[in-house]
Homo-oligomer: A and B are copies of this chain.
Amino acid sequence: MDTAQHTDRDRLPRSIVCPRSIVVLSGGVGGARFARGVRHLLRSAEGEPRSTLTCIVNVGDDMWLNGLRVCPDLDSVMYGLAGVNDAERGWGRAGESERVSAELLAYGVGADWFTLGDLDLATHIARSQLLREGRGLAEATRVLTSRWDLGAALLPATEHEVETRVRVGETETLHFEEWWVRHRAALPAREFVRAGASAAVPAPGVLEAIGSADLVLLAPSNPIVSVGSILAIPGIREALAAAAAPVVGLSPIIGGSHLLGMAAQCLTAVGAEVSAAGVAEHYGARAVGGLLDGWLVDSRDAGSVPRIEAAGIAAAAVPLLMGDDAVTAEMARAAVDLAERMSRG
């Protein structure tokens, strides 16, 4: 244990009682940073019983590219928790190179808008190989993540191929990644379609994790295409509604904008208000058939707390800017605190 970790620990109150089983619903890069914060919180709660962290990760962005199964969000969470992510660039592996992609382009076979890094490519090849051997995506993810001590279990929301598509014209739809990466979300989205969702079921372990959780957290990920695509898998929303654990979300919108990604475009497309309260209302209060027991907004959105509570959702305002793991752990701690306040209330 290095000194830095000791210092980080000292910033967390010793008295915290950690839930023994935390489930995080997560998108990619933002979800990964949040999951690191939760892990930091759990690891810092010295003397407490060992807690488990399970990340249920969006797979709506997954795609077949050059015959390889690419799972952007699963990979972002895996790389982030493994500490091999490129924090500066914000996505992919640190120390990445693109020799294979350059060759693919020279052959005229690669997609020029989606660059596969060499290290990242190995993940896709390994995953595709595991899938071809007949393993499901959950088991393939377990094999891939077993290489590192992640301190968390990663579960795909589903093993079915449920593709988030963006309707940009009367009938034309694009794969989410094509809209997002290729067009930088510049084409107005009219609708998000989850192709294949109706026939999908949650991946093995997902319903069990939700059912046995002490706390369910919604990462400050994109509420439409990340968390929303998880909720689109039949059975997951029902499991959350029936869960014994409180469901607490963290607003991805701070002062009217999304710091990571393009939630604003997505919220607008579904007619939701681009604000911390708007997202809470989009998810809805569990008491009235929605999702949330609690909602954290950023300190600068403190004014919206009464409106959120009026909607039947316990709310609190705390700093929601994800910084280093210790700073992000404070966000997780605030979510735990809010859940405790609800259980006392």
Contacts and interface: CB of A to CB of B under 8 A. Distances in A.
Contacts of A147: 106-108
A270 interface: no
Contacts of A129: 66-67, 109
Given A67-B67, A144-B107, A100 B122 contact: yes
Number of copies: 2
A150 interface: no
A82 to B, nearest CB: 11
A103 interface: yes
A342 interface: no
B109 A67 contact: no
Contacts of A97: 97, 99, 118
Given A67-B67, A128-B67, A119 B99 contact: yes
> Which size class do A's interface residues fall under?
20 to 34
A149 to B, nearest CB: 14
Interface string A113-140: 0000011011101101110100000000
Contacts of A119: 99-100, 103
Interface of A: 66-68, 97, 99-104, 106-110, 118-119, 121-123, 125-126, 128-130, 132, 143-144, 147
23 contacts: A66-B125, A67-B125, A97-B97, A99-B99, A99-B118, A99-B119, A100-B118, A100-B119, A100-B121, A100-B122, A101-B122, A103-B118, A103-B119, A103-B122, A103-B126, A104-B122, A104-B125, A104-B126, A107-B144, A108-B143, A109-B125, A109-B143, A118-B118
